[in-house]
Amino acid sequence: MRAALQLAQSGYKTAVISKVFPTRSHTVSAQGGITCAIASADPQDDWRWHMYDTVKGSDYIGDQDAIEYMCSVGPEAIFELEHMGLPFSRTEEGRIYQRPFGGQSKSYGEGGQAARTCAAADRTGHALLHTLYQNNVKNETVFFNEWFAVDLVKNQDGAVVGVIAICIETGETVYVRSKATVFATGGAGRIYASTTNAHINTGDGMGMALRAGVPAQDMEMWQFHPTGIYGAGTLVTEGCRGEGGYLINKDGERFMERYAPNAKDLAGRDVVARSMVLEILEGRGCGPNGDHVKLKLDHLGEEVLESRLPGICELSRTFAHVDPVKEPIPVVPTCHYMMGGIPTNVHGQALTVDDSGNDVIIPGLYACGEVACVSVHGANRLGGNSLLDLVVFGRASGLYIEKALREGIELRDASQTDIEEAGSRLNALNQRETGEQVAPLRHELQEIMQNHFGVFRTGEFMREGIAKLAELRGRVENVALADRSSAFNTSRIECLELQNLFETAEATAIVAEARDESRGAHAREDFTERDDENWLCHSLYHSDGKQVSKRGVNFTPHTVETFQPKARSY
């Protein structure tokens, strides 16, 4: 939506295709905030410190030119949002309130914990998404709400020239022709059984890209958020720990002091999640099954909780039946964010590599947000960086497309065959008479991913998972459509989504097995060390032949010196 806004303001004809009404997208669930060095909490704050934290957080496979761009442009993008009306919480000076989040430091890790995450209470994503939609309304962007993009249309030169889209309400299927197609389709957390993600996070962009032969980068990197509510999976923001909350095991011990003596509960998310799993595996988990730990907040007092974390109090009472003012919330690491995605440059242009390993731009295709892998998050995303990522690169894509349109984009029209090819998956689904039902297939997929590709991974177990997926593929491709109506047919959409989930899951599985080291969120029990010699690079998955290759990480920022890989400790 940030890209759409940019384009609508430029006067170019812009349409947003969204499978849900725009304010129902998953950004709305983001809670804690948007991390950016706007120097409110600390007037000395410097975007370079934010850059350092992000590079370190990424376990050094975040592209440093992209991180440099995001962190340096960030403040401008945040102030724009504020000018658009985003209701940030405020400091006594009237500036935007910033709270501490995990992995944040001053002076390149030397100056202690920083408070850099700009917040609107614990509803920052909601406030952000609504503000963006409101400004799109203001600028009269055209919305195709409850339209579902099915597949990319490519012309004979391999350029992307639009999508096949289906109107959910009427079943009408059309080819939407465009000079620039921007994916902002979000994540695919629903490949796992336990996830903080919305039902709609089904990796539609990944599915479309992989089927169109676009590679996927760093797909093994899935963030497990330390604090998903036990049982329900709903997210409890890292801001809880930022405001002073901490995790305890069954003995009431603040165990993060052992794993990360300095940052404690505000270490990187991968570190905290792994520590939690270790506590549970070593028998110090809470509950009758000892399968979770608890997040203690009651010592903060009712006033702080109700003013800073009102949404968390609400969620916890609803889903955990626990009042955080009185007792700790049961939590467990839960799938949260896809660090990988469609490789892009800082303009959002999708990339592939040629035979000699050089980057090649795919004409017509852009990606931003979670579906993109610019890559600013590398192997582990810092809290609050996802909202910044989508705002900064949405804006950057918009700016770049505006410039490109002004200079003139010449793409050959798609032929009838090209369009038919893109529509073939939908047609096949509509015509198929037999096959399995969507819900059990989806359940099976989620169980495979949950069991074989979770927080800790081993080669043998993953190979087993890959074999199961291979067996599942044919069945997913032949999923049966139980309902053939053309009026608001959510069954049809769920079938198409399942196939997207599968593409994403398979990419994850194959690359996870290939990366034989531990880095960031990717933790192997059979390769426990980081291997900079072989794997200080992106992984690239090619759907064609299911091949994995490597792509270099950018270590050459333009205005600062390279941050050299170091051992990562908090």
Partner 1 sequence: MLQVSLYRYNPETDDSPFMQDFSVDTRGRDLMVLDVLELIKAEHDGSVTYRRSCREGVCGSDGLNMNGKNGLACITPLSETVKGEKLVIRPLPGLPVIRDLVVDMSLFYAQYEKVQPYLQNPTPAPAIERLQTPEERARLDGLYECILCACCSTSCPSFWWNPDRFVGPAGLLQAYRFLADSRDTATEDRLAKLDDPFSVFRCHGIQNCVNVCPKGLNPTKAIGHIRTMLLNRAT
Question: Residues with catalytic annotation?
Answer: 269
| Nearer residue to partner 1 within complex by CB, 94 or 474 | 94
Choose which of 11, 107, 112, 137 interacts with partner 1 (CB under 8 A): 137
522 near partner 1, judged by CB under 8 A: no
DSSP codes of every residue in 110-124: TS-EEEEEE-STT-H
Choose which of 11, 13, 21, 261 interacts with partner 1 (CB under 8 A): 21
202 near partner 1, judged by CB under 8 A: no
Q: How far is the CB of 56 from partner 1 (least distance, A)?
A: 27
Whether the link from the prior residue into 543 is cis, omega within 30° of 0, is no
C-alpha–C-alpha distance, residues 162 and 177, integer Å: 5
529 near partner 1, judged by CB under 8 A: no
Choose which of 44, 156, 262, 318 interacts with partner 1 (CB under 8 A): 318
303 near partner 1, judged by CB under 8 A: no
Choose which of 115, 438, 466, 501 interacts with partner 1 (CB under 8 A): 438
The number of angstroms, rounded, from the C-alpha of 277 to the middle of its chain's C-alpha atoms is: 22
> Using CA atoms in the order 70, 73, 79, 83, what is the torsion angle rounded to 10 degrees?
-100
- In the window 72-101, what residues touch partner 1 (CB under 8 A)? 78-79, 82-85, 87-96
237 near partner 1, judged by CB under 8 A: no
339 near partner 1, judged by CB under 8 A: no
Q: How far is the CB of 525 from partner 1 (least distance, A)?
A: 32
Strand-pair partners of 361? 351
| Nearer residue to partner 1 within complex by CB, 202 or 352 | 202
158 near partner 1, judged by CB under 8 A: no
C-alpha–C-alpha distance, residues 169 and 360, integer Å: 38
Choose which of 44, 107, 112, 138 interacts with partner 1 (CB under 8 A): 138
User: Which uninterrupted H or E stretch holds 351?
Assistant: strand 349-353
C-alpha–C-alpha distance, residues 382 and 357, integer Å: 29
235 near partner 1, judged by CB under 8 A: yes
- Are the beta carbons of 365 and 350 closer than 8 angstroms? yes
25 near partner 1, judged by CB under 8 A: yes
Q: What share of the chain is helix, strand, coil (3-state, %, to 5)?
A: 40, 20, 40
Q: How far is the CB of 295 from partner 1 (least distance, A)?
A: 17
The DSSP letter of residue 414 is P
- In the window 103-122, what residues touch partner 1 (CB under 8 A)? 120-121
| Nearer residue to partner 1 within complex by CB, 413 or 483 | 483
Is the Cα torsion angle 27, 32, 33, 35 positive or negative in sign? negative
For every residue of 189-204, which 3-state class applies, written as one string?
HHHCCCECCCCCCCCH
Sheet holding 537-542, edge to edge: 216-217, 537-542, 547-552
Q: How far is the CB of 442 from partner 1 (least distance, A)?
A: 9
| Nearer residue to partner 1 within complex by CB, 135 or 178 | 135
Tokens of 376: 């600013």
Question: What b/e string do you get for 157-172 counting C-beta neighbours within 10 Å, with b at 16 or more?
Answer: eebbbbbbbbbbeeee
- In the window 472-511, what residues touch partner 1 (CB under 8 A)? 482-483, 485-491
193 near partner 1, judged by CB under 8 A: no
**Closest listed residue to residue 105, CA positions, set 54, 39, 61:** 54
Phi, psi torsion values for 502, nearest 5 degrees: -65, -45
Kindly write out the interface string for residues 159-178 of this chain, putting x where it contacts partner 1 by CB under 8 A and - elsewhere: ----------x---------
Binding window for partner 1 (CB under 8 A); candidates: 9-17, 312-320, 449-457, 462-470: 312-320
Q: How far is the CB of 390 from partner 1 (least distance, A)?
A: 17
| Nearer residue to partner 1 within complex by CB, 120 or 212 | 120
| Nearer residue to partner 1 within complex by CB, 88 or 259 | 88
**Closest listed residue to residue 465, CA positions, set 474, 475, 455, 454:** 454
Tokens of 503: 């593409």
- In the window 204-233, what residues touch partner 1 (CB under 8 A)? 232
Cα Rg of the chain, angstroms: 22
| Nearer residue to partner 1 within complex by CB, 226 or 378 | 226
- In the window 408-437, what residues touch partner 1 (CB under 8 A)? 437
Tokens of 96: 């935007």
**Closest listed residue to residue 50, CA positions, set 34, 31, 30:** 34
Residues in contact with partner 1 by the rule CB under 8 A: 20-21, 23-26, 28-29, 38, 78-79, 82-85, 87-96, 120-121, 123, 126-127, 130, 134-135, 137-138, 169, 198-200, 232, 234-235, 311, 314-315, 318-319, 437-440, 482-483, 485-491
